[in-house]
């Protein structure tokens, strides 16, 4: 078995594709992609922020103060054309045809409406389909300023001093005192994201070498000669399984280390004290616990993908079988993200979901070690069953010589 493992490992290390998928991809490509997405995203946001929008106000007389604020805002430029518009429909048409970027319809004077005890209804006409759009927020913010001034003025006229206005408008001020510390709070959010990244990578780290070691052997014509050596099928499968398992864990470890390095680099550039203080309480033991949880899950995936690969006749056929599995692994992770989904004696028995929930608990610092042991045992048992199935699969002529 050890000879098979040594040889498979040697071949794996010499395979550029495997090295790319297991080491280079998580080490470099992911941070590069993240940096690229971040850069492009910030550029798009900056562009949207700096964009100056042409506007047109209908019934400007109903809101002189507001019209003035919009006029002096750096993001808006008054329409200087000759066309005039008088209704929401006309404004819509003008936005659609690109004459203006935004139309503002002031239906009535808020001061007059207020004297009648009514609200003024103003409308902002623009194309909200763009993903990054500050038009509405900015115009609403300006309208709020006018609205607040008007309210303040009216209340003073009614004899209510400025100092008392806040208390009258909001007699009860309620605030929360959270018993959860920063780590628990942040862990609830980030802890759900980490398994989402880690678990599929564990699968990816297992898939490629498994395809090479099973279907790849069939395709290259080396399987038959291997089967004719005086090595038991169990030893052969174990040798291959250990290689796949190692690759899977290597992929996960490299990813975690790479992410840790890149997060620390990012933190050193950006001031994120909350994140810093939250993560500073995540100890080395916690990382070891996460790794300990990944071992049985990697074993489950390794057995599964090896069995699939042994069944497949060719590399391509194996890849076709792996695709739905890759999709399928997200389902139990998504279950762990559902509201109020917690690690209990029951959920500790659901494969993959249990590990995802446990990782979240570890990051939060609220892990139950009894449940953790339960997860490791349950996952190890499942991995053993799958491995036994894999050995059986590897002994079946109808599978090997399809």
Distance CA 237, CA 141 (A): 66
* Nearer residue to other proteins within complex by CB, 226 or 266: 226
Tell me the closest approach of the beta carbon of residue 308 to other proteins, in angstroms.
21
- Least Å distance, CB 352 to other proteins, is 32
Nearer to other proteins among residue 231 and residue 325 (C-beta): 231
Pick 234 or 384: Cβ nearer other proteins: 234
CB of 236 to other proteins, least distance (A): 9
Buried b (16+ CB within 10 A) or exposed e, 341-363: bebeeebbebbbbbbbbbbbbbb
Q: Which is nearer to other proteins, 1 or 374 (CB)?
A: 1
Minimum separation from the CB atom of position 228 to other proteins (A): 5
Q: Given 3-state DSSP classes, what are the helix, strand and coil percentages for the chain, each rounded to the nearest 5?
A: 70, 5, 25
Distance (Å, whole) CA 148 – CA 154: 10
Q: Which is nearer to other proteins, 4 or 102 (CB)?
A: 4
Contacts with other proteins, residue ranges (CB under 8 A): 3-4, 7, 10-11, 14-15, 220-222, 224-232, 397, 401
Please report how close the Cβ of residue 10 comes to other proteins at its closest, in angstroms: 7
Distance CA 246, CA 86 (A): 71
CA dist 53 and 171 (Å) reads 40
Choice between 250 and 297, CB closer to other proteins: 250
Count CB neighbours of 334 within 10 A: 13
- Which residue, 254, 237, 255, 244, is CA-closest to 208? 244
Output the smallest distance, CB 232 to other proteins, in A. 7
Residue corresponding to tokens 């060719």: 314
The Cβ of residue 314 has, within 10 Å, a number of other Cβ atoms equal to: 13
CB of residue 318 vs other proteins: minimum separation in angstroms? 17
Compute the least distance from the CB of residue 395 to other proteins, in Å: 10
Tokens standing for 225?
A: 């000669």
Give the number of other Cβ atoms within 10 Å of residue 224's Cβ.
11
Cβ proximity to other proteins, 165 vs 234, nearer residue: 234
Q: Please list, residue by residue across 49-79, b when 16 or more beta carbons sit within 10 angstroms of its beta carbon and e when fewer do.
A: eeeebbbbbbebebbeebbebbeebebbeeb
At residue 122, the 3 state secondary structure works out as strand
- Pick 235 or 366: Cβ nearer other proteins: 235
Q: Please, what is the minimum distance in Å from the beta carbon of residue 222 to other proteins?
A: 5
Give me the least distance between CB of 13 and other proteins, in Å please.
9
Q: Closer CB to other proteins, residue 130 or residue 314?
A: 314
CA angle 43, 48, 52 (to 5 degrees): 135
Q: Which is nearer to other proteins, 153 or 232 (CB)?
A: 232
Distance between CA atoms of 200 and 323, rounded to whole angstroms?
A: 12
3-class SS of residue 331: helix
Go through the chain and tell me how many residues it has.
402
- Of 186, 157, 209, give the one whose Cα is nearest residue 14: 209
Q: Calculate Rg over the CA atoms of the chain.
A: 31
């Amino acid at each position: 078995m050890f000879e098979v493992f040594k040889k498979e490992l040697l071949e794996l290390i010499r395979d550029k594709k495997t090295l790319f998928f297991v080491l280079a991809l998580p080490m470099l490509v992911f941070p590069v992609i993240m940096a690229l997405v971040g850069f492009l995203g910030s550029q798009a946001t900056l562009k949207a922020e700096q964009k100056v929008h042409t506007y047109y106000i209908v019934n400007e007389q109903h809101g002189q103060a507001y019209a003035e604020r919009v006029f002096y805002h750096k993001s808006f430029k008054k329409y200087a054309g000759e066309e005039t518009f008088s209704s929401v429909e006309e404004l819509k048409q003008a936005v659609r045809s690109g004459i203006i970027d935004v139309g503002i319809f002031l239906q009535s004077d808020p001061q007059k409406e207020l004297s009648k005890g009514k609200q003024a209804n103003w409308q902002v006409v623009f194309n909200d389909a763009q993903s990054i759009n500050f038009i509405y927020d900015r115009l609403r913010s300006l309208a709020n300023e006018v609205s607040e001034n008007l309210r303040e003025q009216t209340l003073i006229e009614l004899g209510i001093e400025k100092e008392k206005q806040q208390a009258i408008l909001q007699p009860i001020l309620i605030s929360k005192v959270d018993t959860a510390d920063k780590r628990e709070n942040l862990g609830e959010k980030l802890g759900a994201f980490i398994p989402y990244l880690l678990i599929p990578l564990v699968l990816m780290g297992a898939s490629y070498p498994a395809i090479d070691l099973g279907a790849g052997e069939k395709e290259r014509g080396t399987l038959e000669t291997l089967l004719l050596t005086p090595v038991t099928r169990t030893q052969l499968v174990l040798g291959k399984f250990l290689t796949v398992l190692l690759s899977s864990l290597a992929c996960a470890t490299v990813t975690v280390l790479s992410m840790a390095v890149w997060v620390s680099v990012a933190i050193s550039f950006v001031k994120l004290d909350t994140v810093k203080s939250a993560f500073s309480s995540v100890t080395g033991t916690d990382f070891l616990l996460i790794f300990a949880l990944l071992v049985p899950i990697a074993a489950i995936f390794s057995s599964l993908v090896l069995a699939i690969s042994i069944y497949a006749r060719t590399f391509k056929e194996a890849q076709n079988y792996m695709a739905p599995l890759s999709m399928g692994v997200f389902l139990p992770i998504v279950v762990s993200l559902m509201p109020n989904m917690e690690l209990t004696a029951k959920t500790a028995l659901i494969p993959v979901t249990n590990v995802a929930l446990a990782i979240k608990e570890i990051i939060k610092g609220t892990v139950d070690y009894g449940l953790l042991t339960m997860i490791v045992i349950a996952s190890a048992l499942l991995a053993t069953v799958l491995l036994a199935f894999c050995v059986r699969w590897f002994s079946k002529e109808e599978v090997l010589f399809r």
